[in-house]
Amino acid sequence: MLLHLLVLAPFAVALLMVATSGFDSKSTSRIAILFGAIFTALSIRLITVGYAATSPIEWFTLPGTSTTLYYSLISQGINVWMVFLSTTVSLIALIAARESFGNNYKNFAIGIFALLGAMNGTFLASDAVLFFFFFEAMVVPAAILIAAYGGKDRKAAAMNFAIYTLAGSAPMAIALWYLLSVGTGSSAGHLFMAYQGVSAPIQTLLFVSFALAFLVKTPLFPFHGWQAQAYAEAPAPLSAVLAGAMSKAGVYGFFFWVLPIFGSDSSMMNLMMWIGLFTAVYGALMALRATDAKKLLAFSSMGHLGLAIAAIFSLSPTMIPAVLVLLVAHGLSSSSQFILTGVAERFAESRELKKMGGLAARNPVFGFLFGFACIAALAVPGTAGFIGEFLILLSLWQVGPVPAILAGLCLILSAVYMLRFIQAVIFGKADKVETRPCHKISPFDAAAVGVLLLLLVVFGVRPALIMDSLNGATQDEVVADMEDSEDVF
């Protein structure tokens, strides 16, 4: 029941929000935040439950095959924390949006709840076609929200985002249909057996088709063309959801589907590790030269997720806790930074770094929160990011010194651009700052960000809260659990 609620109830709430008044934004926001808090509480409950699976409900028989598809959900290890991120960041976005959306809050909340249901379905689906359905469904509310409430280039950004992600997933749809046509089921285990029965050239084509969908959604170089523009043009609360939660769907797809199905191909695993490392270095360098604050954060996010992908395909024994802690830390950190950058954008009336200076003296609370969020993003000891990045370095060192050195270079570069970011926004001198009114950060924004920063410290001091959900499982055991999920069918 808990899994069904986390997936289906957000869609029901989105429909319920349609009936609320669009002119009473305070009442609408209270309802939205209440439901957001309920879903966050349910996700915390899911973490305490650990492993759970629903009874399969027959969906339909895939045309051209004899495979029956099922509506079936499963929670284990990593995906319970991905659901925690999606619900928590969505709640924070709903709180932060109260300050800036006014009478548009109702429509924003409808889109966020629809996106939340799709994200939770993506993370909890144990049937491959059901996963793909939710994986693609995320695009619709996200693109609509960007196009409706983004910046001046919002329509181009929304179109670019939709075209990239939908086109990138098209080969996966064909590859999935092919595997189901030669196999007998739609779990990871069934697909692995079907994959083993085809020729080597077809195996390579199938791997590329699956990987492309996740390369685009994460995104990794060179399939990142949509990301910086979409993150920059989206309203800040939505950018927080895109970076803090939705981006994890691509990483999760690599872990939950690509590894169990294609993990026997060591050459492809090695190639993906190097793509992840290259993306990490590229993202850090692009963030270093960025002049747009939200694009800087977009490239920073790409760099950190590149490290997560590199760690996954290192196949190191320590990679599962490393990736899990890094993803949770990145989700909390990036979403807090996007919300605070949105606040700075309202203060400065621009996303340009050179126009955002001097905010610490004029807005002490904002300056403290922004500085804390950026320092936490540097993975200083005492934060979850430190544990995640240390474990990532350890995982890559077990492969060899070169991958670990490249990862270390990325971390050094991230310190450079993040300190530059701090200096430019809260200590720098803005253009014509004296002509602007002296704004103060709202209690809603401060409370929303404060919760995220508190969680970063809590998980940094007590990372076992995250890692204990793996129950000491090794990579092989986790993958075996995925494959055993076919038994429910």
Three-state SS for 43-106 is HHHHHHHCCEECCCEEEEECCCCCCEEEECEEECCHHHHHHHHHHHHHHHHHHHHHHHCHHHHH
What are the two backbone dihedrals, phi and then psi, of residue 18, each rounded to the nearest 5 degrees?
-60, -35
Q: Are 478 and 126 in contact (CB under 8 A)?
A: no
pLDDT value at 159 more than 70: yes
The residue written with tokens 């001091």 in the block is 461
Q: pLDDT band for position 487 (50/70/90)?
A: very low
Distance between CA 195 and CA 203 in Å, rounded? 6
**pLDDT tens figures, 389-431:** 999 999 899 888 999 999 999 989 999 999 888 888 888 675 5
Length of the chain: 489
The pLDDT of residue 438: 52
Query: Given this model, what pLDDT does residue 484 score?
Result: 46
Cβ atoms within 10 Å, residue 420: 17
Note whether 95 and 236 are within 8 A (CB): no
Query: What is the predicted pLDDT for the residue at 57?
Result: 87
- Alpha-carbon 368 to chain mean position: 26
Per the CB < 8 A criterion, the answer to whether 170 and 136 are in contact is: no
Per-residue pLDDT tens digits for 374-385: 888 888 888 998
Q: How confident is the model at residue 286 (pLDDT cuts 50, 70, 90)?
A: very high
For the chain, the domains span 267-470
Look at 72-81, 101-110, 437-446 and tell me which has the smallest mean pLDDT: 437-446
Please report the DSSP string for 93-148 in residue order: HHHHHHHH-GGGHHHHHHHHHHHHHHHHHHHHB-SHHHHHHHHHHTHHHHHHHHHH
Q: Which structure tokens are listed for 70?
A: 């099922």
First-to-last C-alpha distance (Å) of the chain: 18
The pLDDT of residue 147: 93
21 pLDDT tier (thresholds 50, 70, 90):
low
User: Contact 384/466 with Cβ under 8 angstroms?
Assistant: yes
